[in-house]
Every structure is written in structure tokens, then in C-alpha cells.
């Protein structure tokens, strides 16, 4: 039964206000709240504590303040100000200076200008304080706008920004050439969004094949590529391609989600590979959490066991 639950179903559940309200009562309650497996907490203090724990294991990290698709200029400004307040806290804590953001959180649904202005505010402070900023890629509807804003920022001198590409999208091979020509860093993912067949591959085999094709271009030619996957088969392909290109382990890194395949994270780090853990936090954790459940049946089983313990 659990195996049959689709990404689309969990995506729909993520929009349920009633389910969100019920989950919020328990998801972050105490240290054993079921959502804490995948979300560091709701505050920057909790995120910093999680980052320190990750770094103590010989890994590196990127912090992400959860939230997306804001509906007003005021909300976009508040999210931007939260990031501007977050940067000096991270710097003062002495942890790695790396963050991830979503442009719909900065007002992309309102206008390109609103999101671009807010992005530049964050990038300016980030550059002053020695941060790298990764712009996450959202659904296919936002790809053009995202790449446009990253290109604008890069050409204005904000070379501390990189972007994400999804192998599930058929356009990503052309987009990779575009970003490589720019010189920006790329994080390669498979993609967590439900997309129509007109723009995205529908089978796992097709998505995997596209991922390998992108790896073959990204690893030899990219600027410190980020290989974001928990799939041992894709990791094996990355190792093969990197070895064939004569790349040292320090020339790229693997990236994985907080709470997912921690055994694999540790084993790669022991072998000398860089492993960056994506650490999300914030009050708007529910949609992110539901996407993690939709990706792997084992995640659902984990949460069900946690709820039994809560009872």
C-alpha cells in the first residue's frame, strides 16, 4: 500500500490546511517530534545546532529557511529580511557559510523585479560576509525566470551564487550548457516536482539516464559541481566519470538531505569525498516534509513508528 503512494498524492496533501494544523501539533514537539528526522527545527538556533552536529561528523552543510510562493510584497520583504538576519547569526556561530534559497519565497510570483531586487540584497550581504548562495530550482514554470535572475546577478558581480538543475526536465541539457557558459556552479538533482510529460521524463529510467548524461557534461566542465543524490547507482556513475576525467575528490562534492541516507553520507566522507548536507528549518516546514514522504516509502514507515511512540 505504501509503495503505491505517489508524489502527486503527497503533493496534494501538502496543501491541506487541516492536515498541516494537525501535524504542527506534533511534528516539532520536543526532540522526538516526527518531522525532526528531516527538518532541523523551527528556529535559527536549532538550525545552527544541527549544522554543528553535521560538521562534527566531518561533513559540510547548507542552511535553508523554509518557505515558498509568498503572495504579497510584505511577505517577500519579510522573508528577505529573515535571510539578512540569518547571515550574521551563521557567521557569528563559526559554522560553514553556505545557504540555499527559493525565489518564490522572495516574490517571484509577484514579479521578476521584486524577486530580483530581494535576491540582490541577500547576495550583497552574502558577498560581504563570505557566503555562497545556492538558488534552488522549483517547478518547470519557474526555470526561465530563475536562470534569468541568476544570470543578471552573476553579470552584476555576484559570483557567489549558483543554481540547481533537474534531470527530470527535458530542457536541462540545454540549460546546463547555458549555466556552464556563464561560469556559475550547478547542483544536479533528479527533481521532486510532479510535471507533465510535455516537459519532463515520466519514468525513473528516463530520469536516471538524463542524470547520467548531465553528469558526463557537468563533472569535466563544471565549476565545483554538486552531485545531489542518494542513489548509489548515480554515485557510482559520478565516481566513474570523475575518475575518467582525472578529477580529484576535492574538485566536486556530493550533496544529500538532512536525515536521509546518513549511512551513505558517512561512508563517502570516510573515503575522502566532500559531502554537503542540506539542512532545512523554519515554521513553514510542512510542505517540505510531505515531499520527503512522497519520495521514499521508508520515510512513511519511519513517521508512522514515530507517531506510535508519541501515542
Residue 202 has pLDDT above 90, yes or no: yes
60 CB neighbour count, 10 Å cutoff: 17
Mean pLDDT on 58-64: 98
For residue 37, the model assigns a pLDDT of 82
The residues near 147 (Cβ < 8 Å, ≥ 6 apart) are 163, 175, 178, 179
Mean pLDDT on 280-298: 75
For residue 19, the model assigns a pLDDT of 54
Q: Which strand (E) or helix (H) includes residue 132? A: strand 132-135
The chain-wide mean pLDDT, for the chain, equals 88
Q: Model confidence at 307, in pLDDT bands (50, 70, 90)?
A: very low
Mean pLDDT on 50-57: 98
Mean pLDDT on 164-189: 98
Return the DSSP state at 46: H
Range with lowest mean pLDDT among 5-19, 56-70, 167-181, 217-231: 5-19
Residue 305 has pLDDT above 90, yes or no: no
Q: Model confidence at 192, in pLDDT bands (50, 70, 90)?
A: confident
**Matching residue, cell 539578512:** 84
Residue 310 has pLDDT above 70, yes or no: no
Catalytic residues: 136, 187
**Matching residue, cell 510529460:** 197
Give the closest residue to 255 by CA, choosing from 233, 278, 236.
278
Q: Is the pTM of this model over 0.85?
A: yes
Q: Model confidence at 284, in pLDDT bands (50, 70, 90)?
A: confident
Packing angle of the helix pair 297-310, 286-295 (nearest 10 deg): 120
Give the closest residue to 242 by CA, choosing from 215, 262, 269.
215
For residue 296, the model assigns a pLDDT of 54
Which tens digits make up the pLDDT trace of 112-152? 999 999 999 999 999 999 999 999 999 999 999 999 999 99
For residue 219, the model assigns a pLDDT of 98
For residue 289, the model assigns a pLDDT of 76
For residue 250, the model assigns a pLDDT of 96
Amino acid at each position: 500500500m505504501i509503495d503505491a503512494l505517489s508524489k502527486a498524492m503527497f503533493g496534494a496533501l501538502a496543501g491541506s490546511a487541516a492536515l498541516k494544523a494537525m501535524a504542527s501539533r506534533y511534528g516539532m514537539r520536543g526532540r522526538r517530534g516526527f518531522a525532526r528526522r528531516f527538518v532541523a527545527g523551527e528556529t535559527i538556533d536549532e538550525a545552527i545546532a544541527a549544522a554543528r552536529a553535521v560538521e562534527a561528523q566531518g561533513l559540510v552543510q547548507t542552511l535553508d529557511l523554509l518557505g515558498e510562493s509568498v503572495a504579497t510584497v510584505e511577505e517577500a520583504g519579510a522573508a528577505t529580511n529573515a535571510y539578512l538576519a540569518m547571515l550574521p547569526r551563521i557567521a557569528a556561530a563559526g559554522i560553514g557559510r553556505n545557504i540555499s534559497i527559493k525565489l518564490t519565497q522572495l516574490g517571484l510570483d509577484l514579479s521578476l523585479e521584486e524577486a530580483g531586487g530581494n535576491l540582490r540584497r541577500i547576495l550583497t550581504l552574502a558577498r560581504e560576509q563570505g557566503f555562497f548562495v545556492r538558488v534552488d530550482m522549483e517547478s518547470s514554470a519557474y526555470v526561465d525566470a530563475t536562470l534569468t535572475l541568476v544570470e543578471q546577478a552573476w553579470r552584476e558581480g555576484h559570483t557567489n551564487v549558483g543554481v540547481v538543475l533537474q534531470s527530470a526536465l527535458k530542457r536541462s541539457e540545454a540549460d546546463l550548457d547555458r549555466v556552464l557558459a556563464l561560469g556559475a556552479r550547478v547542483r544536479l538533482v533528479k527533481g521532486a516536482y510532479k510535471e507533465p510529460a510535455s516537459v519532463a521524463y515520466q519514468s525513473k529510467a528516463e530520469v536516471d539516464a538524463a542524470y547520467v548524461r548531465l553528469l558526463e557534461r557537468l563533472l569535466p566542465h563544471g565549476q565545483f559541481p554538486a552531485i545531489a543524490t542518494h542513489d548509489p547507482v548515480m554515485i557510482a556513475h559520478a565516481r566513474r566519470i570523475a575518475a575518467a576525467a582525472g578529477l580529484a575528490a576535492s574538485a566536486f562534492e556530493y550533496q544529500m538531505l538532512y536525515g536521509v541516507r546518513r549511512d551513505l553520507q558517512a561512508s563517502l566522507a570516510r573515503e575522502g569525498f566532500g559531502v554537503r548536507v542540506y539542512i532545512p528549518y523554519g515554521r513553514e516546514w510542512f510542505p517540505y516534509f510531505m515531499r520527503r514522504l512522497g519520495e521514499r516509502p521508508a520515510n512513511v514507515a519511519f513517521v508512522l513508528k514515530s507517531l506510535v511512540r508519541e501515542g
